[in-house]
Amino acid sequence: MTDTTQQLPTAALISADVQRRRLRWAQGVLLLFHVTGFLGLAFSQDPSFYLQFVPLNLLLTLGLLLAFQPQRTPAFWSFCVVTMVVGFFVEVVGVRTGLLFGHYTYGSTLGLKWLGVPLLIGVNWLMLSYSAGVLARYLPLPDFLRAVVGALLLVGLDVCLEPVAVRFDFWSWQYDVIPLLNFKGWFAVGLILQVYFNRVEFIKRNPLVPFVYLLQLLFFFGLGMLF
């Protein structure tokens, strides 16, 4: 007769080992993409070759994050869709009015545009809002304070991202000056999305998130320091 009390712990250990291997594989793929991109943008004579992979890198990063989200319920997918749609149309308003972030226009690096905004911007807002929200859950704080922390994490990443984005034609600012309004707008929109993140009922943990956030922070900070 089979001893099921022995099988259950063994199965759990095997499952945990598989999860760790998947995590290491995902981290390795993302590290390869970011290190290659960093070296290419920093030292290549033709950075345009590496810039064409920016959309792919963005989609790959989001895809891997979603793969490590436990129990992708309808509530989770609704959060994803709403965040992408809100993020996209916030940028449409921003580009057309200059009221939210200042006066800016998008370049060609982020790919196909609609209403003057790359379609991938919604993907970017989802990836960053989700990552910031999951990171903020590590803190023993009330939900609103977690939302504030999440919004600050978004702004912190944008501070590192802006000089690189301008240099490589992600977008450009009027008079080549990044306005303070941009960071205020990021905080305001980020706070709204973080409050929404905390209100939607789904599991808010993901073992890949800390690695992704740190990798992107170092990527943009490192490139910004070089330029």
Task: Per-residue pLDDT tens, the chain, 227 aa: give them.
Answer: 555 555 556 666 667 788 889 999 999 999 999 999 999 999 988 899 999 999 999 999 999 999 999 999 999 999 999 999 999 999 999 999 999 999 999 999 999 999 999 999 999 999 999 999 999 999 999 999 999 999 999 999 999 999 999 999 999 999 889 999 999 999 999 999 999 999 999 999 999 999 999 999 999 999 999 87
**Residues written for the chain:** 227
Distance CA 224, CA 222 (A): 5
Cβ atoms 61, 27 nearer than 8 A: no
What tokens does 73 get?
A: 């319920």
Q: Where are the alpha helices (DSSP H) in 44-179?
A: 48-51, 54-67, 74-97, 120-136, 143-167
Burial tier of 134 (Cβ tally within 10 Å: 0-12, 13-18, 19+): buried
Residue 6: enclosing H or E segment and its boundaries?
A: helix 4-43
pTM summary value = 0.91
Q: Are 109 and 151 a contacting pair, CB within 8 Å? A: no
Number of domains in the chain: 1
| Residue numbers of the domain that contains 96 | 4-226
Tokens coding 5? 């009390």
Element (H, E) at 11: helix 4-43
**Cα 217 from Cα 42, distance rounded (Å):** 16
